[in-house]
Structure formats: structure tokens, C-alpha cells
Amino acid sequence: MYWKALNRKEINQNVEYALQQNASYAKGEVIGTPATYLDQKEFYPDASFLDDAPFLKSLIANPNHIGCHTLDHQSSPIFKGTQAIEKELIEICAEEIFKAPRNEVDGYVATGGTEANLEAMWIYRNYFMREYGAKADQIGVLFSEDTHYSITKGCDLLQLNPLFVTVNPEDRSMNLNCLKANLKDAAKLGIKYFIVVLNVSTTMFGSVDEIDPVVKILDQNQAVFKVHLDAAFGGFIYPFTNPESRHNFEHPRISSISIDAHKMLQTPYGTGLFLIRKGYMHYVANEFAQYVPGLDYTLCGSRSGANAIVIWMLLKNYGSEGWVKKMKELINRTDFVCERLNELGVEYFRNPHLNIVAIKANAIPSELAKKYELVADTYQHMPSWWKIVVMDHVSYEILEAFLNELEAIKTAKANVA
């Protein structure tokens, strides 16, 4: 896992070069597309600060990255410069972070983890339909009860069968007996093909679904399936804090991965990534997009090239070594929280390689949870858990203030008792 860090000047020069390789709206070179630069009455293209703000400069230039630029097909030559940066970004994420062999993964910058998850489900649904003659009601989606709601959204949109797998409350692992029962029930319903979604950090608990036990049971049942990793939260931290992780493309049964950059990488919203082994994107090629060079393969269609540039900028700013250091610092802060909770005798769940701590709700007064904006597992009824996420802005000082208040409350209750 290695990519070189660049200094600010080098990053600016790379982005400036990419923008120069694009055709220019400002020079009148582009007269056939239904797009232009951002409105110049609101966005000033000659503002002096833009020379030191490559993301904003790219945003104003407004390159459209419609399509998938890792494919051999021609992409729009209008934005070839910034498309090259997106292609390099996909290579870094697929090959350096998720250990794919060189040039064996396709992908694109999506609007976020939800779109990336839907893209995977859409591809595999069409794959089963075309390669096996499957009907939608013969395709099931297997996922744990802790999985992000985007998967049930995808089942609704794509008319697929959701198959919930319960979790063991002690470690949030998938209940393998429930998985076996689901497969038996699915057989009775005529469900023969499975899209398996495994988590690399669930939203509420930071739990990570093990791959091999699930795959073993599916193989024992002679199931036909594809495995997608939802690494929307964990993708930019778990591979760096757990170097022994097998949640990557080295595992032969993993076909695709979704990641959000707007979480750990601190990029703007609308910056996620979808990665998939080569040979699958064509299952969602839109043949009606004839006016798009290379066609379109994405859910979102037109998308800002600036979003690819800002993810690339962040990764290049740190380099792999700098990013490991930053993620380890967040783990250290999370360790600090857990050590104090242990001292206080508070029950919680936490994966040691992640920065999420889910605390039993009966240990946290709701007033304290609301004061510090903890997140509940449900807002429809009384929560069972409150969640802390140790992000960059969550300093030791903030954490200590929260923990000290929690300790004072517990002490006061003990004195009354």
C-alpha cells in the first residue's frame, strides 16, 4: 500500500495541467454540449485566490465526467484532462488500498455510498438475468440487520427480495444459523441467485462482516452469488488500521466495493467511489446514450469532474504514509474513549480497528446524548444505543468534557442510591 505524497505546488500544477487538457468553454471551443462554466455573475473565474484553490477552480470550470473512464471505450474528449485524474484516483483506491491486480478494476466517482451500493445491485441483477435467465423475483439480496438502509432502498427500486440476516448481539457478527435458514426459505420461494452485501464498518456499530464463514455456507448450498463490500464508512480507515484485513480484491470472492470519501477523507458531500472487477460494467451499459462518447454506465449520469479532483487531491496531499498516521491518531483517540468507559463500567460495542463507539442507551441520559449530538440507533421509539464517531473535529478536550459529565452523572446516581 503506497502512493507518493505531493506538495501543494505539485498538486496545483497537476490540476492546472488537467484543466488545460480539457476543452475550454471560455475560449469558445465547445459549442455542442448543453453545458457551460458556472455562472460568472455568481462565480468569479478570475478571482486571484483560485490559483491556490484547485478544487474551486475545477468546480467553476465545470467538467462533466459522464460515463466510466476506466473502460477501453472512448470517453468524451472534451474533458480528457480531468478524466485522467479520475482514472488515476480509481487506480490508487483499487490497487493500493484494496489490493487489486493492476488494470483489473473499473470504477467511477459516484455521489456517495448509496449510489455505489445501488450500482452494484443493479449490475448483479442484470448479470443474473442475462447469464442465467433469472427473473427479478428469483434474485435475493442477503445482508445483516445492521446494514445501511441503501440496500433495502435498492431492493425496492430493483424489485429484488431482501433477505435479512440477524446478528449476534455480543459482537454484531452475522448469525450463521439465520443465514442457513434464509437459504432454505429462499429455496422454497424459488430464489436461486444471491447478491451478498458484507459490511466494512456498519453505520451504527462499526462492525465488520467476516467473508469466509458466509461464503462457505453459500458454497455448501451450491448457491450462485456475487459478493459486494459496503465500505462506505470503513473504506478509508479500516485498510490502514488493520493491515491484515482480507476485505479487498485479493480475496477471490469479492467482486465490488463501495467507499465514501466525504466521511473519513473529509471531502465535500457527493464524493463516493464505486469499484468493480473488470467484465461487469457492460451489464448496465445504456445503449440509448448514443450522444455520449463511450455510452453511460452509471446511475447518476452527468457528474462533476471536480469531485474526482478533490478526492485525488486529498490522497495526494497525505500520501499513504501520512494517511496511515492520521487514521492511527483517530484510533488512539477512540482507544481513550473506550478506556474511560471501561473505568466507568459502561457497556459499549467497538471494533478495535475503527473509530465508532456504540454505547448502551441505558448508560447515557438522553439530555447528555442530545447535548453532544450523539446519534441513536432509532428515532422512532426509545433508542437502545447511542453512537460516538471520533472524527477529525472530535478532540480530546471534547471527549474528556463528555466523559467527565458522564462520570459526574453516574457518581451522583450512585450517591443517591
Tens place of pLDDT per residue across the chain (417 aa)? 799 999 999 999 999 999 999 998 988 888 898 899 999 999 988 888 998 999 999 999 999 999 999 998 778 889 999 999 999 999 999 999 999 999 999 999 999 999 999 999 999 999 999 999 999 999 999 999 999 999 999 999 999 999 999 999 999 999 999 999 999 999 999 999 999 999 999 999 999 999 999 999 999 999 999 999 999 999 999 999 999 999 999 999 999 999 999 999 999 999 999 999 999 999 999 988 888 888 999 999 999 999 999 999 999 999 999 999 999 999 999 999 999 999 999 999 999 999 999 999 999 999 999 999 999 999 999 999 999 999 999 999 999 999 999 999 999 988 886
Q: Which residues contact 157 (CB under 8 A, 6 or more apart)?
A: 118
Grid cell, residue 99, equals: 489490493
Which residues of 289-389 form beta strands (DSSP E)? 348-349, 356-360, 375-376, 385-389
> Which residues of the chain are in CATH 3.40.640.10 domains?
77-318
Q: What would the DSSP string read from start to end of 376-399? A: ES-SSS--SEEEEE--TT--HHHH
User: CA-CA distance, 264 to 331, in Å (whole number)?
Assistant: 12
d(Cα 98, Cα 101) in Å, to the nearest integer?
9
d(C-alpha 365, C-alpha 410), whole Å:
10
Please tell me the distance from the alpha carbon of residue 177 to that of residue 192, in angstroms, as a whole number.
Answer: 19
Domain with CATH 3.90.1150.10 in the chain: 345-409
In the numeric block, which cell numbers belong to residue 366?
438522553
- Cβ–Cβ < 8 Å for 273, 259: yes
Q: What one-letter code names the amino acid at 283? A: Y
Q: List CB contacts of 147: < 8 A, sequence separation 6 or more.
A: 197, 199, 202, 230
Q: In what order do the strands lie in the sheet with 348-349?
A: 348-349, 356-360, 385-389, 375-376
> Domain 77-318 is in which class?
alpha beta
Q: Rounded to 5, what percent of the chain is helix, strand, coil?
A: 45, 15, 40
CATH number of 345-409: 3.90.1150.10
pTM reported for the whole predicted model: 0.96
